[in-house]
Amino acid sequence: MGNDSTLVMPKLGLTMTEGTITEWRVKPGESFTAGQIIAVVETEKIANEVEAPGQGVMSEHLASKGDTIAVGEPIAQWSLHHKATHSITSPVRAKNTRPTATPISDQKKLPQTKNSQVRVIATPLARRIAHESGIDLITLKGSGPGGRIKAGDVLLAQSEKDTQFSPLGKGVANPCFIIADANAGRLVALVDRLVNTPDVGVITHAHITYLAVAKALLQYPEANQISNTDARFTRGQSINIGIFKNGDTTLPAKVLQDVSSKTLKSLVAEADQINEMQSTINERDSSKASTAIAEVISQDIAYMSFPVPTGFSSILGIGTPKNVFKPDDHKQPLLLQEIGLSLSYDQSAISHSTATSFLGAIKSNLETPLRLLAG
């Protein structure tokens, strides 16, 4: 039986006060064995591999790749399958990670800087990551003693380099995504019934999805994270949702404000109104919203994982209803209509467990659409 405990930043030397997580070898939900490498931690002098003291399961990462954490501070939650013989605040076993040192024969192959006469002070692990990422160390400012470039400095530069995906600015460096299939039978039937409703407008399954997401944010307010001017996330006071027309995330999102308080009729009218606006950034575009929605317009694609746009903490990709055969309780083929859902999220704003619950609530709301209209 597992014992839930906290993995803290181990003290790997007499003078060590903090360490930088340069790699997680075990992801949340994955199991590990005694002696398996859990993570790689870099100090001022060397990189160290953190080993598991026993068999168990990784529950949650409390610190991300590139984070610098003080000795003794929590970096993860795990469940050990044996009775713990050490305090949960005690350092786990660690050893020097030999692969981080570059062999002399290979150093000639690693161009360190554009100017060979400029001496760059960097840790071996930082040099290796820079070489693999194509980053010139001379362009970086080190955060270590005497300006020494650490692995975390290279990882930060790498994330800034990798996230230039649109003219709107930088996106999330390391987004995660999860997918689900929603039974769309009741949703399709409801839309067919309402499509000719007088004075309501042209209703699509996307409009119902707006309500489903808004209700899910009310159910899990910890997913309603908006970005501040200093790039930090805080919980939103209202339910605002961004929409990307035709799934085009290269243009600014149009924002539906206070969605949870709107009726279907007013929501359809507002969505139609903002979709007719020109694709220029205006006051409505810049409104604070936590979640964006993008429709997959291709009939041949069931799921599409969109990059999390700047300013948002998540984005939901929704497919079009498709006919699929699945076995019933008697293992006989049953014709169903399903919609593919893909939720991309910023793990610095939303935890993995919250994202899973959030997507599950969206799926449940879409499968019972009449409850959305009932309020």
Q: How many CB atoms lie within 10 A of CB 15?
A: 8
**Same domain flag for 211 and 356:** yes
DSSP assigned state of 122: B
**Same domain flag for 145 and 212:** no
Euclidean distance between CA atoms 121 and 142, whole angstroms: 8
Decide: 359 and 219 in contact? Cβ < 8 Å: no
The 10 Å CB-count burial string (b at 16+, else e) for 277-310 is: eeeeeeebbebbbbbbbbbbeeeeebbbebbbbb
**Same domain flag for 333 and 363:** yes
Q: Which of 163, 188, 223 is the last residue of a domain?
A: 163
**Same domain flag for 184 and 139:** no
Residue 102 located in a structural domain: no
Q: Is the whole model's pTM more than 0.85, yes or no?
A: no
Euclidean distance between CA atoms 49 and 21, whole angstroms: 10
35-45 pLDDT, tens digit each: 898 998 887 76
**Same domain flag for 72 and 136:** no
Euclidean distance between CA atoms 321 and 323, whole angstroms: 7
CATH number for the domain that contains residue 26: 2.40.50.100
What is the domain extent for residue 325?
176-372
**Same domain flag for 262 and 308:** yes
Q: At 249, is the pLDDT very low, low, confident or very high (cuts 50, 70, 90)?
A: confident
User: 17 to each of 12, 50, 52, 73, 140, how far by Cα in Å?
Assistant: 9, 16, 21, 11, 23
**Same domain flag for 274 and 320:** yes
Residue 35 located in a structural domain: yes
If you average pLDDT over every residue of the chain, what do you get? 79
Asked if pLDDT for residue 28 goes beyond 50, the answer is yes
Euclidean distance between CA atoms 222 and 186, whole angstroms: 28
Asked if pLDDT for residue 26 goes beyond 50, the answer is yes
**Same domain flag for 325 and 264:** yes
**Same domain flag for 222 and 285:** yes
Q: What pLDDT, on the 0 to 100 scale, is given for residue 277?
A: 61
Decide: 126 and 135 in contact? Cβ < 8 Å: no
**Same domain flag for 270 and 221:** yes
CATH number for the domain that contains residue 221: 3.30.559.10
CATH number for the domain that contains residue 149: 4.10.320
**Same domain flag for 243 and 158:** no
Higher pLDDT, 146 or 317: 317
285-304 pLDDT, tens digit each: 445 899 999 987 666 677 77
Q: Report the number of distinct structural domains present in the chain.
A: 3
